[in-house]
Every structure is written in structure tokens, then in C-alpha cells.
């Protein structure tokens, strides 16, 4: 359940999460390498995961069209 921050900012919520052992260090390392805060790294990765789900769905749709299209219509399947 979201927890309200002690010093609320507009359009922001605080959310407490338990991480598996070792994950905090991995996130901290990646954040440091990407010159982001840990919070910034987590938010970036959550947003990117949403984008990748959309891209993956589109790629799977193209693959499905290619697999079901007659061989001479494969180019048309890519355009759809």
C-alpha cells in the first residue's frame, strides 16, 4: 500500500518495497554507473519495462503474421 511521504511533493507517492538479498547493492551499482540515484534508477527501469512490453507485443504480432502468411505474402505481413 502506498505510504504518504513526510514532506509530500506534487504528483509523487512514497512506496516501501522489500528487495531480495543482494538486489539493493545491484541497483546501487547500476545507479552509480548510470549517474542516477537509486530511486531514479528504479523509476527508469520500471518505465522502460512498460515500453519494452509494448515493443515485445508488437514484435510477437509481426512474428505471428510472418508464420501464418503464405511465403509469397511475407513482405506484406511485415508492412501490416
Residue 10, φ and ψ in degrees, nearest 5: -60, 140
Q: Where are the domains of the chain?
A: 23-79
Is it the case that residue 63 has pLDDT exceeding 70? yes
**Neighbouring residues of 32: CB distance < 8 A, sequence distance ≥ 6:** none
Residue of 50 and 79 predicted with greater confidence: 50
Mean pLDDT of 48-74: 88
Q: CA separation (Å) from 12 to 6, 23, 50, 52? A: 12, 24, 19, 24
The overall pTM is greater than 0.75? no
5 pLDDT exceeds 60? Answer: no
Q: Would you state the cell numbers that stand for residue 25, as one nine-digit string? A: 547493492
Judged against a pLDDT cut of 70, whether residue 36 lies above it is answered with yes
With 60 as the cut, is the pLDDT of residue 4 above it? Answer: no
Give percent of the chain above pLDDT 90.
60
Amino acid at each position: 500500500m502506498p505510504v504518504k511521504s513526510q514532506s509530500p511533493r506534487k504528483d509523487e507517492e512514497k512506496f516501501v518495497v522489500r528487495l531480495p538479498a543482494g538486489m539493493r547493492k545491484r541497483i546501487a551499482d547500476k545507479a552509480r554507473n548510470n549517474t542516477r540515484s537509486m530511486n531514479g534508477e528504479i523509476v527508469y527501469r520500471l518505465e522502460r519495462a512498460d515500453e519494452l512490453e509494448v515493443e515485445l507485443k508488437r514484435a510477437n504480432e509481426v512474428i505471428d503474421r510472418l508464420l501464418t502468411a503464405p511465403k509469397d505474402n511475407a513482405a506484406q505481413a511485415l508492412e501490416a
